[in-house]
Structure 1
Amino acid sequence: MARGLGIPSTLVLSALVVAAFALASALTLPVGVLTSASPTVMPLYLVQPIPLAMLLGRSCLSPAAALEATAPRPARATHAALLAAVMALTLAMLAANPALSRDTYALVTASYVGSVGLLLIGVALLGRLGVLLPAAYLCLLTVLGTSDDGQPAPWAWTLQPTPTALTTGATLLVLGSVALAARWRRTIRHKE
């Protein structure tokens, strides 16, 4: 099942993304290009969770969805467990990034968890096209993420203080998990 969901290749690509961002850790991204007189600078380590979350999108919808929906064993539970395992392994890879300190790792975790939540919501609502929702968030963040005085916009959770970022990220993950589970249930009803 893991091969069918593309999990081995997702983990290899995730390791390459983490390595690439570790090498480019000194780079930054301007945030609030249109809404702030002087854009805020976001470290690149807060950007890396977004492509990592997008890589997980390939594994959210199974090519054997009809088989999973009608399998005598709980294949959906295995599918969900595999997604959770990929998330945990990706967070472990992020923790190994030498550019991150203990404080910045909490923000990276919040960014990754929230990005995965956005991904799951996007996939649940838009199918494979929903993989682009975290990238859309990043684009909006760079253009509209701060106010005129350089303060983060309320919706820009990756720029908020750690407790707010973690709460928002966890909320997005829960909402995304519920949305994907609802899509999977619709698949089961549709096949019956």
Structure 2
Amino acid sequence: MQKNDPVHAYRRGAHYPDGEAFRDTQFYQSCQALLNSPRLHKMLEQYGYTLVFYPHIEMQKHLAQFHTDSARVCLADSTTHDVQQLLLDCALLITDYSSVFFDVAYLEKPELYYQFDEAEFRQYHYKQGYFDYRRDGFGPVCTTEDALLQALETALQNGMHMPPEYKTRTAAFFPLRDTQNCARTYEAICGL
């Protein structure tokens, strides 16, 4: 891992109002507060990292609503950044519920879940499924900005390595690590 690897923040798509009404949402207020957190800026500067805020493709229409004065925070979208390359290049992933965390876990990179709106998300977007982020996730679940920043600071202090607990979960979730996935998929389809 090299310095200046981006830390990524993602958000699953949702239908939000435009303009002033969007700025009244918990999603906007929580993300905007994080992007402008002096504590975050200090950590990024101290450890030499950049946070790339890349919202879900459905949320990118709202990107112009966000702002930051930090040169260590990049507001990115699909016209400026390729999401697959961001996932490959990242040192750590910050997400809420987006399935991109599976890709990053497979790469054995640390991740943090920022689920500041958990009750609302479960009520209005998706009910709890088979995957429980606290039980099955590949990083800590943070419901407050303070908890997220503490978890991020811990990750930075530990050199952005996936903690053993989450490495164990990753190994159990992805038991096959070879070049035969396509062959296994083909054989399974043929066996139907």
The answer to whether the superposition gives a TM-score over 0.5 is no
Q: Which has the higher strand share?
A: 2
TM-score, normalization: structure 1? 0.24
Q: Which has the higher helix share?
A: 1
Instruction: Give the number of the structure with larger relative contact order, counting CA–CA contacts within 8 Å between residues 6 or more apart.
Output: 1
